[in-house]
Amino acid sequence: MADFITTSQKPSDSRGSSSTLMTETLQVLKEIVPPELQNPRVGIICGSGLSGLAASLRQSVLVQYEKLPGFVQSTVPGHKSALAFGLMGSGAGIPVVAMLGRFHPYEGHKLSSVVYPVRVMGAIGVKDIFITNAAGALNPALAVGTIVVVHDHIALPNLTGMNPLLGPQIDPSFPRFLPISDAYSRSLRKLVFHAAHQLSMNRDALAEGTYAWVSGPTYETPAEGRFLRAAGADVVGMSTVPEVLAAREEGMNVLVLSLVTNAVVIPASYKSVREEVETEIAGNLIEPVIDEKVSHEEVLALGKMKGDLMKSLVAKVLDLLPPPV
């Protein structure tokens, strides 16, 4: 069994993963987590309302974030603040580590803190990372409840200076200019569709699409929704992309599953107030404008409703993973 303290020491940098900090984090994990679970192959990040994903972990050990140097607290309802180590999948199972609760920049966390758990996953030997999230549908063909296998992203924050990889190189062996045209592993994406087939999932329950990352915490205006849709995004959310970039830099294979929890309200055109007033003045009936609003409660409710499906899908993908090389 490899000692994870030795696997990935990072030099000091401005993103918070100084070698001292990482050594301290790994030391705490070594003290709490039994040796057979210390080097998980798979990392899972549970999105809003999806922490139940880890309920099927066997021999599980929870490590509260407050015990881990470098970890902040998750402050969003539907997110816990603990790492779960255990075995998942059928048979002997595969050792996994799951983040029950993630960090978002809108909570006030620095990007280096947001991705620190992914750095830790890299340091303990995680090869494949499964990142889940709750997202709003921009593509009208995506019904609420659909699970979207993400194959690409649009990250306006990355393009405008909010990229977690900004700053001195965290490890001299990492590329300075990371190509991310292949960020979303094709073979893992294919495994999800094989898994769905084996679970006899309805064809419409699973789709493919592009995730737009926005900073939040506001949801989109109709014009922003139209803009992101026109740019080619299918779903939108406030997380995931920083984790994807850090995971790719760490050399992990990335799978992202977005649960569509709501439709982003994007009416095809703006309903003119002038026309409405003129209609009123003319004494004619007006069609009421329905003011639909998304809420985090709705997002969490959907997570609860579809949590078991997401769990079965992830467990089946774990079963289908090829043996490590």
Ligand X SMILES: O=P(O)(O)O[C@H]1O[C@H](CO)[C@@H](O)[C@H]1O
Query: Catalytic: which of 106, 151, 276, 301?
Result: 106
- The item of ligand X, ligand GUN, none sharing an interface with residue 239, based on CB under 5 to 8 Å by kind, is ligand X
> In 3D, which of 115, 44, 92 has the Cα closest to residue 314?
44
For residue 104, say whether it is annotated as part of any ligand binding site. Answer: yes
Q: What angle do CA 285, 286, 291 make, to 5 degrees?
A: 150
- The item of ligand GUN, ligand X, none sharing an interface with residue 257, based on CB under 5 to 8 Å by kind, is none
How many residues are given for the chain?
325
Q: Whose Cβ is closer to ligand X: residue 4's or residue 130's?
A: 130
Question: 3-class secondary structure for 129-171?
Answer: EEEEEEEEECCCCCCCCCEEEEEEEEEHHHHCCCCCCCCCCCC
Among 136, 164, 209, 242, the residue binding ligand GUN under the rule CB under 6 A is 136
Q: Is 97 helix (H, G, I), strand (E, B) or coil?
A: strand
Each residue 124-153 as x (binds ligand X by CB under 6 A) or -, in order, gives: ---------xx-------------------
* Backbone angle region of 256, left / alpha / beta, with phi > 0 → left and psi within -120 to 50 → alpha: beta
For residue 102, say whether it is annotated as part of any ligand binding site. Answer: yes
Report how far apart, in Å, the C-alpha atoms of 280 and of each of 267, 269, 271, 291 are.
Answer: 22, 20, 14, 19
Residue written as token pair 């999932």? 201
Residues in region 232-251 near ligand GUN by CB under 6 A: 236-238
Q: How far is residue 154's CA from residue 133's CA, in Å, rounded to a whole number?
A: 15
Q: What angle do CA 78, 220, 295 make, to 5 degrees?
A: 35
Contacts with ligand GUN by CB under 6 A: the residue count is: 15
Q: Whose Cβ is closer to ligand X: residue 170's or residue 236's?
A: 236
For residue 139, say whether it is annotated as part of any ligand binding site. Answer: no
Span from 20-28, 65-73, 189-197, 211-219 in contact with ligand GUN (CB under 6 A): 211-219
Residue 14 catalytic?
A: no
Tell me the closest approach of the beta carbon of residue 247 to ligand X, in angstroms. Answer: 15
Q: Whose Cβ is closer to ligand GUN: residue 159's or residue 285's?
A: 159
Q: How far is residue 215's CA from residue 313's CA, in Å, rounded to a whole number?
A: 28
- What are the residue numbers of the active site? 48, 79, 104, 106-107, 134, 238-239, 262, 296
Numbered residues of the known binding site? 48, 79, 102-104, 134, 220, 239, 262
* Binding positions for ligand X, rule: CB under 6 A: 47-48, 76, 102, 104, 133-134, 216, 237-239, 296, 299
* Binding positions for ligand GUN, rule: CB under 6 A: 134-136, 214, 216, 219-220, 236-238, 261-262, 264, 294, 299
